[in-house]
Amino acid sequence: MTAEPSRPRRSVLYVPASNDKALAKIRSLACDAVVIDLEDAVAPADKLSAREKLAGIFAGRSNRRCEMVVRINALSSEWGADDLLAAAKCAPDAILLPKVDTPRDILEAGDVLDDNFAPDEVKLWAMMETPKALLNIGPIAELGRDPASRLVCFVAGTNDLVKDTGILTTPDRRYLVPWLMQMVVAARAGGLDLLDGVFNDFSDMDGFARECTEAAAMGFDGKSLIHPAQIEAANRAFAPSPEAIAEAGAIKDAFALAENTGKAVIALNGKMVEQLHLAQAEKLLAKAAAVRA
């Protein structure tokens, strides 16, 4: 599987490729990943100049601890094909594809990367932001089981889903939740990481923190962000809690005892604990170690 469960993606900040002031701050940010955006955050008149900045942005990337991703314009647009080629030359950690509708969109992008000798380490992330994507999300997610596809992460495009479906936006996202949970199931079936959509009111930190907590409870790995002020709350919400780390450590230690060798089920603190709980504990501990690093 191509997912990297031990690599934290709690906080993923969009930074417009056309905004020099925002780009200059990347080095000091505490987010797990930065998405250099050529799409929604860049006006049509600035698309070409933004693309031309990519090489310079990635020239000093070795000094940055966070994951570096490029969101290109849709491949069906007048900018998409050239964006993909330019991004591939920079060898980012990943390229985020917007407006993905079918598995073919992923496969065609992967073919371009292969044909242009992009390193295998350049992965693909996919926006889940159209009604058609939700209809095809199972087959799209299944590509995550094939390393050759490069697909490792889904990103919920909630603003576009709201726009395209006409649903009412509410603070509890009640009309979005069924689709968000559909993304969770598909991502887990495909071994993919999954990021929640953006929270538009960056001045409402209480609302943002609440949405992060709910997304973490739903099974999301992190959240896409539009402002650096949102980083701390996202990192906190999507990191394993001290209590969860302690419990996972106890499960791992218990299964490591000589008397429990080979057992499928053990008793721990009055509870039945199975091998599946051990696997969950080991995954959580790996994530916690990655966060500490």
Question: Which residue reads 């790995």 in tokens?
Answer: 221
Range list for CATH 3.20.20.60 in the chain = 11-238
Specify the DSSP element, H or E, that contains 115. Answer: helix 103-115
Mapped onto helix, strand or coil, the DSSP state of residue 215 is helix
**What distance in Å separates the CA atoms of residue 219 and residue 189, rounded to the nearest whole number?**
13
The pLDDT value recorded for residue 61 is: 64
**What distance in Å separates the CA atoms of residue 69 and residue 72, rounded to the nearest whole number?**
10
Q: Is residue 219 within 8 Å of residue 247, measured between CB atoms?
A: no
> Along the 293 residues of the chain, how does pLDDT read in single tens digits?
334 446 899 999 999 999 999 999 998 899 999 999 999 999 999 999 999 999 999 986 655 578 999 999 999 999 999 999 999 999 999 999 999 999 999 999 999 999 999 999 999 999 999 999 999 999 999 999 999 999 999 999 999 999 999 999 999 999 999 999 999 999 999 999 999 999 999 999 999 999 999 999 999 999 999 999 999 999 999 998 888 889 899 999 999 999 988 899 988 888 999 988 988 888 888 888 888 87
The pLDDT value recorded for residue 6 is: 64
**What distance in Å separates the CA atoms of residue 196 and residue 153, rounded to the nearest whole number?**
11
Specify the DSSP element, H or E, that contains 96. Answer: strand 94-97
Q: Which candidate, 27, 26, 37, places its Cα nearest to that of 224? A: 37
**What distance in Å separates the CA atoms of residue 142 and residue 253, rounded to the nearest whole number?**
34
The pLDDT value recorded for residue 3 is: 41
* Phi, then psi, of 148 in degrees rounded to 5: -65, -20
For the domain bounded by 11-238, which CATH number is listed?
Answer: 3.20.20.60
Question: What is the DSSP-derived secondary structure letter of residue 52?
Answer: H
The pLDDT value recorded for residue 1 is: 37
